[in-house]
Amino acid sequence: MEGKGNLEAAIEQLLNVEKQMRLAGDVAGTKKAVTEILQLCFEAKDWKVLNDMISVLSKKRGQLKQAVTAMVQQAMQYIDLTPDLETRIELIKTLNNVSAGKIYVEIERARLIEKLAKIKEEQGLIAEAADLMQEVAVETFGAMAKTEKIAFILEQVRLCLDRQDYVRAQILSRKISPRVFDADTSKEKKKPKEGENVVEEAPANIPSLLELKRIYYELMIRYYSHDNDYLEICRCYKAIYEIPSVRENPVQWIPLLRKICWYLVLSPHDPMQSSLLNSTLEDKNLSEIPKFRLLLKQLVTMEVIQWTSLWTSYKEEFENEKNMLGGSLVDKAAEDLKQRIIEHNILVVSKYYARITLKRVAELLCLSIQEAEKHLSDMVVSKALVAKIDRPMGIVSFQVAKDSNDVLNSWAMNLEKLLDLVEKSCHQIHKETMVHKAALKV
């Protein structure tokens, strides 16, 4: 009881000092007074008084910005020293209320909300944690370090993915440009000019830019796996594979290169997929996993692939992926792999045949006539192929329908060729006639 009386007396005395300093506009004196009041409360372990003093001091008339900043920063050091979770949450909420709407403590507010969100997540309240994090738009904070901003946004994305809010996760992920990870960190930082905001140093627990790059692409893999967007998943793995620290460690890059190969095979055929396929084949590291090199080679070669023999050869490798870094492939992967092989085979057939019977197509694809027709129709609808099926005759035509101008041009070309031939023939006949006439005269 006596200790409490002493604390109140000491606080009363310091409050008078704080008032004098505040009214005199003495920044250093006011900061010292408010921090000493908080220190006294902390040493006395009186958390209720500490919360009350933070609220009271921040609401004083004409309170200096620097004093509020110093007070919030001082109180933030006590958060991890609180005796229990309830006290910790109460202190964070008090500091949140004090820093709300104050631009000069926006970074502190962001860090406080992140701490509170972590507590909520540990309690299993992921939706609440995600909502808390979304209140803060760190991309507008000029004084926050770039790495801290990226780490905060990535945390927002992760919580959205955890609560399966994929639309908001995509919106938040677009706040980070992938080009930011390629910035040269070795360059010396420019000294800020007078009047410019001084960018704060990132806290020690914030990962490096390359580590953040890896986290970003791992989160994007989770997002694209939801939509089964194989090409984008492949590009994300490719970006992680390009990180120098990963390239130096075979334990890390071999599983990544395997994933790149699988997702390339699973991606629908288009120019981007072809470009990635050829660039991956040129990678020297692919020689370390010859089975996958062969798999990609088969896709590049315009030859029909037998699905049964391919699945027999690669089934074990396919199932081994779940034991590898990055986990198993998406749920529909086996089904989609068969689909891609069928599509590849149809493209091969369309290259070598102008017209072919549906029965022969089905034989080449190892499918029934109905299935072959379905896959052909799907490819035509998706504009991956130009084809027409004559169902009564059972004939597939892969010829492109010519435009009327093209038809006229081809006729004009044919007429020109014909006239050229007639002219050459006449010339040859005339030449032979002249030779014979000369021979008769002799």
Q: How would DSSP label each residue in 29-79?
A: HHHHHHHHHHHHHHHTT-HHHHHHHHHHHHTSTT--HHHHHHHHHHHHTTG
Selection from 279, 263, 261 nearest residue 231 by Cα:
263
> What percent of the chain is modeled with pLDDT above 90?
2
Q: Which of 399-405's residues contact partners 24+ apart within 8 Å by CB, and which partners?
A: 399/354, 399/355
Query: Worst-scoring range by mean pLDDT, 6-10, 190-194, 206-210?
Result: 190-194
> Which whole-number Å values give the CA distances from 215 to 114, 149, 212, 326, in the listed order?
17, 14, 5, 12
Q: Is the pLDDT of residue 191 over 60?
A: no
Question: For residue 357, which phi and psi values (nearest 5 degrees)?
Answer: -75, 150
Instruction: Note the pLDDT tens digit of each residue in 285-339.
Output: 778 888 888 888 888 888 888 878 888 887 777 777 766 665 666 667 778 888 8
Selection from 380, 417, 381, 419 nearest residue 396 by Cα:
380
> What percent of the chain is modeled with pLDDT above 70?
90
Residue 11 DSSP SS3: helix
Report the helix count and the strand count for the chain, using DSSP H and E. 20, 3
pLDDT recorded at residue 194: 45
The total of other beta-carbon atoms located within 10 Å of residue 197's CB is 10
The total of other beta-carbon atoms located within 10 Å of residue 433's CB is 10
What is the reported pTM? 0.76
- Evaluate whether residue 36 is within a structural domain: yes
The number of folded domains in the chain is 2
Q: How far apart are CA 59 and CA 71, in angstroms?
A: 12
User: Which residues fall within 8 angstroms of residue 17, CB to CB, at 6 or more apart?
Assistant: 29, 33
Instruction: Read off the DSSP letter of residue 104.
Output: G
- Residue with the larger pLDDT of the pair 108 and 5: 108
- Residue with the larger pLDDT of the pair 7 and 187: 7
Residue 396 DSSP SS3: strand
Instruction: Read off the DSSP letter of residue 355.
Output: E
Is the sign of the CA dihedral 136, 142, 143, 149 positive or negative? positive
Q: What domain range includes position 419?
A: 404-436
pLDDT recorded at residue 425: 92
Q: Is the pLDDT of residue 238 over 80?
A: yes
Examine the fold and report which residue of 48, 80, 102 is the final residue of a domain before the chain moves on.
102
Q: How far apart are CA 147 and CA 189, in angstroms?
A: 14
- Residue 282: its H or E element: none
Residue range 384-407: mean pLDDT, rounded: 77
Bridge partners (DSSP) of residue 356 are 396
Instruction: Note the pLDDT tens digit of each residue in 66-89.
Output: 878 887 877 778 777 777 788 888
Residue range 343-347: mean pLDDT, rounded: 85
| Range with the largest mean pLDDT of 204-208, 289-293, 438-442 | 289-293
- Evaluate whether residue 355 is within a structural domain: no
What's the pLDDT band for 117 if we cut at 50, 70, 90?
Answer: confident
What's the pLDDT band for 134 if we cut at 50, 70, 90?
Answer: confident
- Evaluate whether residue 172 is within a structural domain: no
Q: Is the pLDDT of residue 93 over 60?
A: yes
> Which whole-number Å values give the CA distances from 406 to 130, 350, 351, 387, 388, in the listed order?
59, 21, 21, 19, 19
- Evaluate whether residue 345 is within a structural domain: no
pLDDT recorded at residue 426: 92
- Evaluate whether residue 382 is within a structural domain: no
Examine the fold and report which residue of 102, 137, 171 is the final residue of a domain before the chain moves on.
102
Q: How far apart are CA 98 and CA 69, in angstroms?
A: 10
Examine the fold and report which residue of 55, 87, 102 is the final residue of a domain before the chain moves on.
102
Residue range 120-132: mean pLDDT, rounded: 81
Q: Is the pLDDT of residue 431 over 80?
A: yes
Q: How far apart are CA 337 and CA 345, in angstroms?
A: 12
Q: How distant is the alpha carbon of residue 338 from its chain centre?
A: 27
Q: How far apart are CA 387 and CA 258, in angstroms?
A: 34
- Evaluate whether residue 281 is within a structural domain: no
Q: How far apart are CA 55 and CA 144, in angstroms?
A: 25
Residue 388 DSSP SS3: strand
In which residue are the tokens 């006729």 written? 411
